[in-house]
Amino acid sequence: MATRSSAAVQEPASAGGRRAAKAAATPRSDAAAASFAALTHKLDYLDAADIKRVRDAYRFADEAHLGQFRASGEPYITHPIAVAGLCAEWKLDAQAIMAALMHDAMEDCGVTKPELIERFGAPTADLVDGLTKLDKLQFSTREESQAESFRKMLLAMARDVRVILVKLADRLHNMRTMEAMTADKRTRIARETLDIYAPIAHRLGLNQTYRELQELSFQHLRPWRHSALSKAVQKARGYRRDIVDRIQRDVEKGFAHNKLKVQVFGREKTLFSIYRKMREKHLTFAQVNDIFGFRIVVGTLPECYLALGVLHQLYKPLPGRFKDYIAIPKANGYQSLHTTLVSPLGTAVEFQIRTEQMHAVAEKGIAAHWMYKTKGSGPVHVQEAQRLGAMWLQSLIDIQDETRDASEFLEHVKIDLFPDAVYVFTPKSKILALPRGATPVDFAYAIHSDVGDHCVAAKINGEPVALRTELRSGDVVEIVSAPGAKPNPAWLNFVRTGRARSKIRHYLKTMEQEESQELGSKMLTQALRAEGLTLPADDTPESGVWQQLTRWSGNRVRDELLTDIGLGRKIATIVAKRMARLLGEH
């Protein structure tokens, strides 16, 4: 999945070539230095020691990327600086900012992990290494199920949530700066962003990033439609400005009358969500009537419900359109009250009501936890949320204590967002989801029961391993099979999937049946010999005897009767005597 953003172009590696590149790019280097100066202004929540470490990481990255340029012609270092800037807006800790600055150093510049550990410590080196591994993943299929598996695998592989946050910042900056790329490359990256990265941002609750990634993808994938919708929305703004202003005035007046202190924000549907609604519901632009809505931000949780009462007194609510995501939050932590009211012109207008802290989580999701002190994984106190203030970007806090809390939070989240699954590749790059603790035998049966039944050995990432080895996300698993091989009863001690367990049991039962049938046949032959007879075959004139005998014994077919004899459920001598009598009558 490695999109080397706006394509780093490497100058000749000779010393002369590097000096020439450096000399030619002096004005550009000044631009890079200026952009780093702008980054340091965003780091005012870190202490002096952390800022010094970030500066060291910048110098290291600047040196590593010397002579590399983006497709736009800018020095490549401007990209890591921009990514670090986005992480700083999310108030991530110093280690994450350093990893953002060096996120391409291992892959593009030949820097090794031991070198990073020595210079910057193991935690930062692990983050950079995690980002490098994610870059090596290749997303090759557009099948929806595969896209979903890929998203899960990406999350499962990043054991530290900060890896995903830096990766999203990296992709966001790439999407903002794709103009210099060829059209087909832009389309490929935009498609990948829409299929993989935007849903991950949504799952982590980073709604602002989610919306922007969708908008930018839409712009590059459907430029004409994006342009037409953009013009239509601009016109609609003019037509609907009066009604939007009137609703806002009425709402503010209603809250003032009830002495409830709130902030009222108008909000507009994104172009992509309008396009998606038009396509899914077969609507024209004129039929999409919820382009504009309102967000009400209040001080405390009980005030959310008071605000709802004020709105429902002001305008009539639409039945069936109220949703309480405060009592039952969404999976990504999102909390708000949603209600749709009928405006004075008869159009439907959606209102979202939330507290300041809920607003921060709604916009920044997991990243918002760096803003609020948490006690372990417990809820944030409303008073503290009020004290810290509403707006994520404007909040200036002493994060020295937060960093310790952030690491506790990381331990709690330590992705897995999907704790019970591992995602592995087949040699043909298909992704399979298996339960945690699954082994190559589970993998073999997940592919096909024949592969499982004849499995003799396995390789993980090209290395031979024992069949009881636990699989990890991202492993490429290969099964070695042999035609004469059979399942081993000992496998039942370590397989984790129900499918593998039932298939192994079924095979063993079938095998037991065949052996019992063979034994039953021998025992009955012996008993008949004592009667001076031989065992009649199925296709002889005496075959009718078998039908009479199975009716007498209560079995459905001959093989079932022989199996019962072999298992000791029927006595061979009694069956032989009955058969002798039937043969005599025949």
- Hey, which residues are catalytic here? 107-108
Listing from the earlier edge strand, what are the strands of the sheet with 292-298?
Answer: 263-268, 292-298, 348-355, 337-342, 323-324
What span, in angstroms and rounded, lies between the C-alpha atoms of 561 and 553? 8
In the block, which residue shows the tokens 């005035």? Answer: 249
- Tell me the chain's radius of gyration from C-alpha atoms: 34
What span, in angstroms and rounded, lies between the C-alpha atoms of 441 and 494? 9
Question: Phi and psi (nearest 5°) for 481?
Answer: -125, 160
What sections of 315-399 are H helices per DSSP?
356-364, 382-388
First-residue to last-residue Cα distance in the chain: 77
User: Of 116, 34, 37, 108, which is closest to residue 66 (Cα–Cα)?
Assistant: 108
In sequence order, what are the beta bridge partners of 421?
435
In the block, which residue shows the tokens 């193991």? Answer: 122
Contacts of 513 (CB under 8 A, 6+ apart): 563
| Structural contact between residues 314 and 254, judged by C-beta atoms closer than 8 angstroms | yes
What span, in angstroms and rounded, lies between the C-alpha atoms of 58 and 63? 9
Sequential DSSP letters for 246-301: HHHHHHHHHHHHTT---EEEEEE--HHHHHHHHHHHT--GGG---SEEEEEEESSH
Q: Pairing relation of β-strands 292-298 and 348-355?
A: parallel
